[in-house]
Structures are given as C-alpha cells and as structure tokens.
Amino acid sequence: MASSDDEAETLPVPPVSNYHFVDHKEEPISFSILPIKWDEGERLEGSQEPVFLHGTVDNGLQKVYKQVTAWRFNISGSKPEISVLSKENVWITLQKPRKSFEDTIRTILITVHCLHALKRNPDTSSKSLWDLLAKTFR
C-alpha cells in the first residue's frame, strides 16, 4: 500500500533529547509560556506567538524542528513525562534538555518531578524529597 506525505506527517515523533525552545526571534524561551492541555477534548483558545522546538531524535542522528502549541505532563508512570503538542497535532515526548537550556526550564522540571514523587509517596519527608530532587538534578 502506498503512503502519502499526509500520512507521514501524522506518524509519532520519537522522544526528543538535547532540546530547547525558541520564539519567532530565535530567542530561548520556556515551553511553560504555552497553554497546558489537560485533556484531549480541550480546545486551545486565542492566538499566541509561535514557539519552536529544536532537538534531536535517534541518539542525535536526526534533527527535529517543529512549531508547538501546547504542553502537558504525566506523573502516573515510573518517571515523570513532559510532552509538547506539535502544530500537526502530534504529541512529542521530551527527554533530556540541552545543557545550556536547563536553567531556562529548571523550575518546571523540578515542579513536575516533585509532583511525581509526592504522588507516588504522599507521606515522604521533606528531607527525602529534597534528597531525591538533588540526586535527580545534579
């Protein structure tokens, strides 16, 4: 069966690593300026400045450059997961950010990891939580 270009665009994108986000001026920005999408049926309202994801997939063998429109996080798995929604309506999972970009999104990453840890163990002590976060973000 022959495939069309439209079908190729809807294929899932592998997890992206060594990523960063830029605005229309190519200035680094946090994906947290995008609206968070809580469920699939939710419509995104209003116009916003374009945000672009730069990164790599397949252990750095392929570059990714996509406009993204929203983000979400999942804390129900064994590890917290953050994804962004491409303009083509495909969710892209984010892995390790580019080293120079870590400071830009550190607050979001720490918050999601903290929520994940507390969901898994709501009775954890503050010391245990801080130790876990320190170990994760060294």
* Residue type for position 112: V
Helix (H, G, I), strand (E, B) or coil at 39: coil
Segments making up each domain of the chain, as ranges: 10-136
Query: Does residue 4 carry a pLDDT above 70?
Result: no
Instruction: Measure the CA–CA gap between 87 and 68, rounded to whole angstroms.
Output: 5
pLDDT in tens, 21-33: 999 999 999 998 9
Instruction: Measure the CA–CA gap between 133 and 138, rounded to whole angstroms.
Output: 8
pLDDT at 8: 46
Query: Does residue 7 carry a pLDDT above 50?
Result: no
Find all residues with CB under 8 Å of 50, minimum gap 6, and list them: 23, 24, 67
The model's pTM: 0.83
* Residue type for position 73: F
Residue (of 69, 72, 76, 40) closest to 53 by Cα position: 69
Classify residue 14 as exposed, middle or buried by CB count within 10 Å of its CB (0-12, 13-18, 19+).
Answer: middle
Helix (H, G, I), strand (E, B) or coil at 73: strand
| Strand (E) or helix (H) holding 102 | helix 102-120
